[in-house]
Every structure is written in C-alpha cells, then in structure tokens.
Chains A and B, each alone.
Chain A
C-alpha cells in the first residue's frame, strides 16, 4: 500500500483545528504519519511468519468487509435519532409490547445489510422509545431475512426453495421468541445498558445527527475490531478437517455447525454459500449454521457488549444460540 492518500488528507484536519496543541492529538498524528512513512521499513523483520501473515489477512479482511456496513448502520441509526420523531414509532408500532414484537420482526425485511448494521440501528430504536423487546426482535430478524440474504440463499441452494423458506421461517420465529422472552424475563431487569439518550440537546437536528454518528462509529468500530481479531484467530486455529468426524450424528452436527457459525463470524450475505459447501452435513445442520450466523457470532457479541453492556451480552448470546438451535431442529424436521 502506498501512502499519498493519508498524507494528502491530513492538512485539512490539522490546519483548521484550533486546539491542535493538545498533546494526544500531536502524538497520534506523529505516530500515524510516522507509521505510514516508515512503518514497513522499521518492522519488516518482525511479521514474516506465514501464520501471522495469514492471521493479519483474515483480520484486515473481516474488518474491511464489515466497516462499510457498519458505516451504513451508524448512518441510518443517526438519521433515526436525529430526524425521525419519537412519536412516529409510537404510532407505527402496536401499543401492546407483545404485539409490537412480531411487527418489528417482520419489518426487519427492509434493512438490507450485514448484521453489523443492525446493532446501531436497534440501539437507536430503543433510544427513540421503542420497547426493547421490539428492538431486539428487529435486531435479530433484520440481518437474517432481508432480501439480499434470502436471494443469496436461493442462489447457493439452486432448485431447493424449501431451504430459503426454512431459513426465513426459522429466523423470523427465533426473533419473535426472543422478543417475547425478553418481555417475560428481562423487563425491569437492570442488565440492559440503555443506549444514551442523545436528543435532549437543543443543538439542532444536524448537530444531533453528526454527534450521534461520530459517537456510534467510534464505539461500534472499536468493538468490531475486537470481533474481527477473534474471528481471524479462530479461522486460523480451528482446522476444518475435524468437521468430517461429526457429520453423521444429527444432534451433534447441528450443535457443531452452530458453534462454527459463532466462531467463524461470516457475514450473513455470504454464509449461505459456505453452508452450501458443507455437503457432508444434513440440510438441518446447515440450516442451523445459517440461522445462528446472522444473530450470534464473536463479532456480534463484541458489538453487543459495547452497545448494550456486558451484562446483557452474557445472557443474550447463549439464549439466542439455544433458541436458534432448537428452532432449526424443529423447522428442519418439519420442512427439510
């Protein structure tokens, strides 16, 4: 990678920055420009091991793949926060939380994107007064049943429309079940860190939009990096050969492919192709892979920890995983 782009764009920031005297700012700037200019020469003897380089490729790859979707997500969530009045959601969703859940699940169809986009958007929904149960249902259904994902599933499993139907039905069911589960158990619970309420300032809508986007991107971006590092590590460390030993047993294979989906953190638009290539497994096990992937994986757990707090993530991820596996078994037995 050559460096001119970074160097060109820097002066814009530095010239107009009134508090440029800040030590942290100067240190960061020097560090970054220094790395851009001399980093490769200084460190070129350090990172020569093949394994480390493969890891770095995976890590950068997952980050680069997910960042545009994260930007899309924070853009949408900032727009929701700044430009859509809270009263809109009060009117659009049924008053009773138990009824709002299925409506929110079904509206997941409209957000075309990876799972990274849905975390900031559902945080913005909670922020706008949408009941957490409905926001959770949306969080789980949006990355799994949007048109892009369903279309790629149809392409990956040609001539097998039942796989697409099974995926949509299972993902929708899981999102509603978890929404209702939240109503039963989590209501009033203190372990969901409500996303900060940012619309209180009278700064004007554009200012709110900008602040929300800046804050959300920095926050979610940091956690995305943690998730990408975890996914890269597991990708390099877990040998794919051990999969073949478990393919025969239905329950075990559903569990193993579910776990694999958590560990590999493949984005929801691509996981159908990976599932299609795991031909030694039954369709039910591959359904579990496609249902679990978009709603719980290492990258998402990191993002949710950052957005909703560790106490939430530590309960939510296992619950989602178990419900997703049970639903996949049931639907697989019924449809596939």
Chain B
C-alpha cells in the first residue's frame, strides 16, 4: 500500500470513529462509557495521518506499507452502506428466552422497597423483571409493572417484550425476554411500553421464562441507548 493511500485510509477510520462518538451512533455497538475512548482514538488516528502528510521527510524505505491495511475499509464499507442497526429481534430469536439464575441474591427484598400499589404499575427494566419474575416469585406475585422493550415474535402467536443487555459490546449481547400474554403481537422490532400483572412463568425444557399478563400496549420511539 502506498503511503498516501494509507494516510487516506487512516483518516477515514479515524473520522468514522469520531463521527460515531459525536453522533451517538456508537450506542448501537458499545457501552456509553466507550465514547471518550473512541473520540480520543479517532483524533489520534487523524492526527497521525495528517502529520504524516505534513512532515516533509518522506523517505520511502523501499518496502511499502502492509497490504492487510486494505481490510480496514471493510468496516467503513459496512458503516456507510449497510448502516448496521442496533441488535433487535433477530439477535434475540437466536437465544433462549430463559433467564439465568442470578449470581448474587436478588436485590430488592420485601415490601418496604416496593412501596404501595396506589401509584399504578411500577416501571421496571426488562432485565430485572425477566430475572425477578422467575427467581423472586413471592415478592412479584400480584403486582403490576410497566416495561419498555421491543417485540420479538416466536412460534404459535407467542411474543416477548425484549431488551438486549450489554456488558462490553454487542458481541456479548444477552437477550432478556418477558412473555406477553393476553394481547396480539405488535409488528416485529416495534418498540412498546406495556403494563400488566405478574403471571406464572412458562416452563420450558431449559428453564422458566418470565411472563406478564398485559393490560395495555403503547408503541413508543426507540430509546437513545437501546441496551440495558
């Protein structure tokens, strides 16, 4: 690879990173905490390419730069052309809806935390609900909740309110799924807010799946950070 072409490729990679960090698109792929790392790395790359052009002493040492560098254009191509969306129903369908047993004792215990029911359904993350509805049945029983997530359809009219949980980036994305009962499925990948009452989890061969008897379904816009 020629040195000036290499500079161009690096500028594009760096600019793409800066663009991801400043536009908020990076939230589709990594955790919010990565923003400054991305910005800094992008600026370093652009600076590297620009100084390489500015410095006059360009003694090409006979050997060119590595040809593997052309491959760096592949993710740029993917970003510009495919514009990969945040993980959604397709990724969730590849996983089991069963919630793993929590490693530590589940957080809020007893009635003090939950307060009284007079304020209507309690907003709760899909991640927490999918775990607690299975592993903290006694506390959850008889209560109303409000969940926000996207629709993942399954076989026989079953559908799930879903959120993907990230620990680092989309490669480790884990789907948290709550079976919604009593309402017809909205379109796949539609973001919704549902309210409803705790329901007895569904038994499956590989474990129990959290369930909710849904009262209301309201379509909403996708949140800025689609992950939990």
- Chain B residues with CB under 8 Å of A241's CB are 95-96, 206
B86 at the interface (CB under 8 A from A): yes
Using known A-B contacts A51-B90, A222-B71, determine if residue A266 contacts B23 with beta carbons closer than 8 Å. no
B224 at the interface (CB under 8 A from A): no
Of A27-35, A96-104, A121-129, A314-322, which binds chain B? A27-35
Beta-carbon contact of A203 and B57 below 8 Å: yes
* Residue ID in chain A nearest B166 by CB atoms: A270
- Chain A residues with CB under 8 Å of B68's CB are 218-219, 221-223, 306
Beta-carbon contact of B55 and A266 below 8 Å: no
Using known A-B contacts A47-B82, A68-B37, A225-B74, determine if residue A22 contacts B167 with beta carbons closer than 8 Å. no
A184 at the interface (CB under 8 A from B): no
A232 at the interface (CB under 8 A from B): yes
- Chain A residues with CB under 8 Å of B124's CB are none
A1 at the interface (CB under 8 A from B): yes
Q: How far is the CA of A188 from the CA of B108 in the complex (A)?
A: 61
Using known A-B contacts A2-B23, A75-B44, A221-B69, determine if residue A65 contacts B100 with beta carbons closer than 8 Å. no
Beta-carbon contact of A47 and B71 below 8 Å: no
Interchain CB contact (< 8 A) of A32 among B26, B76, B82, B83 = B76
B75 at the interface (CB under 8 A from A): yes
- Chain B residues with CB under 8 Å of A47's CB are 81-82
Q: How far is the CA of A12 from the CA of B2 in the complex (A)?
A: 18
A300 at the interface (CB under 8 A from B): no
In chain B, residues 72-97, which have Cβ atoms closer than 8 Å to a Cβ of chain A? 72-91, 94-96
> Considering only CB atoms and an 8 Å cut-off, how many residues of chain B contact the other chain?
86
Closest approach, in angstroms, between the C-beta of B30 and any C-beta of chain A?
5
Q: Count the A-B residue pairs with Cβ separation under 8 angstroms: how many?
A: 252
Beta-carbon contact of A25 and B4 below 8 Å: yes
Interface bits A56-67 vs B (CB < 8 Å: 1, else 0): 111111111101
B221 at the interface (CB under 8 A from A): no
Of A156-164, A169-177, A250-258, which binds chain B? A156-164
Beta-carbon contact of A207 and B86 below 8 Å: no
* Residue ID in chain B nearest A266 by CB atoms: B172
- Chain A residues with CB under 8 Å of B18's CB are 5
Interchain CB contact (< 8 A) of A219 among B69, B74, B104 = B69
Interface bits B165-177 vs A (CB < 8 Å: 1, else 0): 0011111101000
Beta-carbon contact of B40 and A9 below 8 Å: no
Instruction: Please list the residues of chain B having a beta carbon within 8 angstroms of any beta carbon in chain A.
Output: 1-2, 4-13, 15-20, 22-23, 25-26, 28-30, 34, 37-38, 40-41, 44-46, 48-55, 57, 59, 61, 65-91, 94-96, 100-101, 103-104, 167-172, 174, 206
Name 4 extra pairs, CB < 8 A, besides A64-B38, A218-B9, A244-B206. Answer: A64-B17, A64-B34, A221-B68, A239-B94
